Amino acid sequence: MLVSCMQNSSSRWWMHSLVYPVFSVYVSKCSSVSPVQWETAMRAVYRISNMDPCGVVIGSIYINHNLAISVSLVAVFLTLAAVFVKWCYGFWKRKGVPGPEPRLPFGNIKDFILKRKTLGEIWKKIYFDLKAKGHKFGGVYQMFTPALVVVDIELVKRILQVDFQHFWGHGAFINDKDNLSFHLFNLEGPRWKRDRAKLSPTFTSGKMKMMFQLIVSCTDELTKVLDETSLKNPVDIKDIMSRFTTDVIGSCAFGIECNSLKDPNDDFRKYGRKVTDQLNVEGTVRQFIPLFVPHSLLHLINFHCQNRSIGSFYNRMVKATVNYRKDNNVVRKDFMQLLIELTEGEDPLSIDDIVAECFLFFVAGFETSSSAISFACYELSQHPEIQEKVRDEIETTLERHEGKLSYEAVMEMTYMDKVVYEALRKYPALPFLFRMCSKTYTIPDTDITVEEGTRVFIPALGIHYDPEFYPDPEKFDPERFSEENKATRPNFTWLPFGEGPRICIGMRFGLLQTKLGLCTLLRKYKFTLNKKTKTPLVFSKAGILTSPEGSIWVDLEGIQ
């Protein structure tokens, strides 16, 4: 049988490639025949069967012995890979956790990798699918890595707040050799706790009041630029507001006038865009690598989350400002001053810490606030009655304050608050929150454990569009945030700033600059949506932050 099979030319090379090497080792292991004796015997078989021991001929093609071995190795490798993938994708099933079926090789994020959906939209869909089946959480896979998606609001609260000691990090990558990565968002454990406690007093309402005039100075420039650009309608509101918030953060965190409103190509804006612009391929790829590549490997290759030119720019900028202020006894009412004070006294921050925090304030502060202003403009431009109402509120409030835009006046604009809160509900800058499990956790009322090192996602966008909490969720309705309506919803259902001990430390500042940007625009102009804006809005698939594809274009009409 063996010989007749070998004499059949089409099956011969398979016998040759697969059976010979495996069989020879097997026989020599299981019997007293040595490999050399087995080799000699096989050569005899080849001679009888007319086969060439260095290769075989199929039709007119000669296949070398080495190639045959390679093919067999590939076959073995593919079999092992298939077993491995099945085992990986069985992780949640083995634990009894429900979830959508993963697909090779992207797991559950294929549409994101292929740029068909944002990551926020993917977790939102999974949230609704799980909720429809009555599940409180579900297991998903980012490529091959298992992660948990939380649906139940009680469990959201536990993870973000009550059981925080099990989930106190974002699971970010920190490179010891890159001082830019040692900022609050990335830090975990005792170091995060220490820095958070040190930085929190920097963001009290007293400190916001202190910095208020610095922001107002930037609104003066915003007014000028709006006056110039309104002559050539339509206006790219996202671009102008990004330049405005860049100037605000530049002034408050770095103590410099960066003038990106005047000069869109200013260095500060240029580097800011390098970090956050979702069209910057290198920046986007660097953002995602730590999500998918094991951190041990990233340490090995000394991976930097930012291009090194960005690191040098911010290091140079902050160190020069700190030295200048120290040498010349300059004191300014801004974040930089408060940070410099933290380099003195007990357990001081180092200059590298300050560079990292300034960098974070900039990155976390300008894009998030400018997109909040832009999305609010998008909605207001389509709801003239709401636009009119908030404008009226600004005017009547300012009348009470002798026409002066003061901190107290802005704090009294409660309808403006509702408009901004509703815009942040519909368009949260970060459409999902994430935590890394730092200590094995048993999900309450189950025997399911979440292991240390598992990423947990809270689908904020899903929660914000859940009709159980926000009926008719697509509708822009600021009244959802009246005191009576807020009281009907559970806590942890409005998450644009996160929640729990890791809630956005700059929330007050972010809201303040958002409201001031809107005030400046609303006082001088009525605005409507220009048809250059894609409606319904399409979101950019490139990065993590919620950002419109293209931009938001409005037509401005001056108010006499």
Residues annotated within the binding site for heme are 504
Of the listed pieces 28-36, 138-146, 483-491, 497-505, which binds ligand HEM according to CB under 6 A? 497-505
For position 381 contacting ligand HEM by CB under 6 A, the verdict is no
DSSP 8-state code for residue 230: G
**Would you tell me how many other CB atoms lie within 10 Å of the CB of residue 328?**
8
- Choice from 502, 515, 526, 541 touching ligand HEM (CB under 6 A): 502
What value does the CA radius of gyration of the chain take, rounded to a whole number of Å?
Answer: 31
Q: Please state, in angstroms and rounded to a whole number, the distance separating the CA atoms of residues 340 and 342.
A: 5
- Choice from 317, 364, 413, 436 touching ligand HEM (CB under 6 A): 364
For position 506 contacting ligand HEM by CB under 6 A, the verdict is yes
Query: What residues form the annotated binding site?
Result: 504
- Choice from 56, 180, 235, 430 touching ligand HEM (CB under 6 A): 430
Q: Tell me the β-bridge partners of 55.
A: 52, 64
- Choice from 13, 509, 527, 553 touching ligand HEM (CB under 6 A): 509
Count of residues in contact with ligand HEM, rule CB under 6 A: 25
Structural contact between residues 519 and 544, judged by C-beta atoms closer than 8 angstroms: no
For position 100 contacting ligand HEM by CB under 6 A, the verdict is no
3-state secondary structure of 349: coil
DSSP 8-state code for residue 179: G
Q: Please state, in angstroms and rounded to a whole number, the distance separating the CA atoms of residues 336 and 375.
A: 29
Interface characters, 324-363, with ligand HEM (x: CB under 6 A): ------------------------------------xx--
For position 457 contacting ligand HEM by CB under 6 A, the verdict is no
Judged by CB, which is closer to ligand HEM: 241, or 364?
A: 364
Of the listed pieces 149-157, 286-294, 437-445, 496-504, which binds ligand HEM according to CB under 6 A? 496-504
Q: Please state, in angstroms and rounded to a whole number, the distance separating the CA atoms of residues 349 and 342.
A: 6
Judged by CB, which is closer to ligand HEM: 56, or 180?
A: 180
Judged by CB, which is closer to ligand HEM: 56, or 160?
A: 160
Angle (CA) 464-468-472 rounded to 5° is 70
Q: Please state, in angstroms and rounded to a whole number, the distance separating the CA atoms of residues 207 and 338.
A: 9
DSSP 8-state code for residue 166: G
Structural contact between residues 56 and 63, judged by C-beta atoms closer than 8 angstroms: yes
For position 369 contacting ligand HEM by CB under 6 A, the verdict is yes
For position 196 contacting ligand HEM by CB under 6 A, the verdict is yes
For position 441 contacting ligand HEM by CB under 6 A, the verdict is no
Which tokens go with 286?
């660097």
Q: Please state, in angstroms and rounded to a whole number, the distance separating the CA atoms of residues 180 and 429.
A: 22
Q: Please state, in angstroms and rounded to a whole number, the distance separating the CA atoms of residues 287 and 274.
A: 12
* Kind and range of the H or E run holding 124: helix 119-132
Interface characters, 156-175, with ligand HEM (x: CB under 6 A): --------------------
Tokens 């890394």: give the residue. 436
For position 251 contacting ligand HEM by CB under 6 A, the verdict is no
Judged by CB, which is closer to ligand HEM: 55, or 496?
A: 496
Judged by CB, which is closer to ligand HEM: 68, or 342?
A: 342
Task: Give residues in contact with ligand HEM (CB under 6 A).
Answer: 184-185, 196, 360-361, 364-365, 368-369, 372, 429-430, 433, 496-499, 502-506, 509-510, 514
